[in-house]
Amino acid sequence: MERQTDPLLDVSEEIATALAERRPVVALESSLITTDPSSETASLIEKAVRDAGAVPATIGIAGGRLVVGLTDTLIEQFSATKGIPKISARDIGAALAGGGLGATTVAGTIVIAERAGIKVFTTAGIGGVHRRGQDTLDISPDLLQFRRTRMTVVCGGAKSILDHRLTAEYLETAGIPVFGYRTDRLPAFVVREADVSVRRMDDLHTAARAAEAHWEVNGPGTVLLTNPIDEQDAADEDLVETAIADALARCDRDGIAGNAVSPYLMKALAGASGGMLPRAGLSLLLSTARVAGEFSVALSTVRAGR
């Protein structure tokens, strides 16, 4: 089969072959690599995808190209280099023009993944509507990009510092279906569930057929397949909510606003968790990667008419 060439894409031979043969592939973001000085997390996530029967495709920007399938050398470079910019969808053009390294976030990754022909992406937690979002209109670009990109995003829901009810309302208004894998409640990142109902899917083959049917009827748009964190690794909801409420009060007191709020809340939550947050985050990353790999296998089967 002759492969089409894209002057902006640099797709690894393994991933290009898998896509040409219609085998399962799962896209992964590169922004998390910049927070892991050993690059071990990226390797563990890729292994989880492989163990589930799919090919991992870690995505980033390097040398003015959209790289689909970072090499081990590039992953080490991303991990060791300080100050690599995080690239959302709106930043891609400038990052390509600049010619340096760019670590893609959720929105940036799914744009590139769709361009390469990948249908499944996984992350621990998506962005969403921030707490007090009804006043600040602080909404992650992830949600807007979901309206434009044909992708299944497998995740543990929106990050714990966000407003899950407002996020769910936005997704409903945008026409983004949200499925809960073996749960009827929206997962809340390191908290196992929020008090928000979702459509339960107990079988990944059924979820894959639902995604295909949604695209057939509605055209472009993302399907969210949410997977709760393993119960033994989940954070206590009361602890999380108390830590965030206290941190928001300190933001008000100290005049912390805008883009500074989210990292402040994450730092406060990490401190309150007593070191539990990184372990919970890794657990969620690996479990969503495994489910994404299994879902990608199911989607390939559905697309093949089996």
Active site residues: 29, 159
Helices and strands (DSSP H and E) totals, the chain:
12, 11
Distances (CA, A) of 24 to 27, 178, 214: 10, 22, 19
Provide CB contacts within 8 A for 184, sequence distance 6+: 197, 198, 199, 200
Residue located via tokens 């959209």: 66
DSSP code, position 8: T
Expressed in percent and rounded to 5, the helix, strand and coil fractions of the chain are 50, 20, 30
Distances (CA, A) of 190 to 161, 233, 264: 10, 8, 17
Position 115, amino acid: R
Task: Look up residue 178 and give its two tokens.
Answer: 């949200």
Position 222, amino acid: T
**CA neighbor of 154 nearest in space, from 195, 128, 186, 123:** 123
Stated as kind and residue range, the H or E segment containing 153 is strand 151-155
The CA-to-CA distance between both ends of the chain, in Å, stands at: 22
